[in-house]
Amino acid sequence: MKNLMIEFKPPMKTSLFTDRIFNRRLLICILTGFSSGLPLYILINLFAAWFHSAGIDLKTIGLLTLIQLPYTWKFLWSPLCDRYSLGIGRRRSWMLLTQLGLLAILPIFGWLSPQDDLRLIIGLAVAVAFLSASQDIAIDAFRRELLHESEQGLGSVIHVNAYKLASLIPGSLSLVLADHVSWQVVYSVTALFMLPGIALSLCMSEPVTSVYAPKTLRAAIVEPFHEFFQRQGVKNALLILAFIFLYKLGDTMASALLTPFYLDLGFSKTEIGIVAKNAGLWASIAGGIFGGVWLVYIGLNRALWIFGLLQALVILGFAWLATTDHSLGSLALVIALESFGMGLGTAAFVAFVATTTHPVYAATQFALFTSLAATPRTLANALAGYFVEGGDISVFSVVLFHINALGWQHFYWLCFALALPGMLLLFYIAPWHKTAKGFAEEG
pLDDT in tens, 23-55: 788 788 889 999 999 999 998 888 888 888 888
Higher-confidence position of 395 and 243: 243
Look at the alpha carbons of 407, 408, 409, 411 in this order and tell me if their dihedral is positive or negative.
positive
pLDDT at 6: 33
Q: How far is 75 from 77, CA to CA, in rounded Å? A: 6
Query: Comparing C-alpha atoms, which of 309, 415, 381, 374 is closest to residue 163?
Result: 374
Query: Comparing C-alpha atoms, which of 341, 262, 311, 306 is closest to residue 418?
Result: 311
Tell me the pLDDT band of 22, cut-offs 50, 70 and 90. Answer: low
At 276-314, the pLDDT tens digits run 667 777 787 777 777 767 776 787 788 899 989 998 998
Q: How far is 243 from 430, CA to CA, in rounded Å? A: 10
Q: How far is 238 from 292, CA to CA, in rounded Å? A: 27
**Contact at 8 Å (CB) between 386 and 64?**
no
**Contact at 8 Å (CB) between 163 and 34?**
yes
pLDDT at 91: 84
Calculate the alpha carbon distances from 409 to 169, 269, 386, 420 in Å: 29, 21, 14, 18
**Contact at 8 Å (CB) between 220 and 85?**
no
pLDDT at 335: 85
Least confident of 73-87, 122-136, 188-202: 73-87
pLDDT at 429: 87
Tell me the pLDDT band of 360, cut-offs 50, 70 and 90. Answer: low
pLDDT at 421: 92
**Contact at 8 Å (CB) between 330 and 265?**
no
**How much of the chain is helix, strand and coil, in % rounded to 5?**
75, 5, 20
**Contact at 8 Å (CB) between 105 and 127?**
yes
Q: How far is 16 from 209, CA to CA, in rounded Å? A: 26
Percent of the chain topping pLDDT 90: 21
Mean pLDDT to the nearest integer, 146-165:
74
Mean pLDDT to the nearest integer, 113-128:
90
Q: How far is 348 from 291, CA to CA, in rounded Å? A: 7
Report pTM.
0.69
Tell me the pLDDT band of 392, cut-offs 50, 70 and 90. Answer: low
Tell me the pLDDT band of 441, cut-offs 50, 70 and 90. Answer: very low
Instruction: Answer yes or no: is pLDDT of 71 > 60.
Output: yes
pLDDT at 399: 52
Domains by residue range for the chain, with CATH: 5-434 (1.20.1250.20)
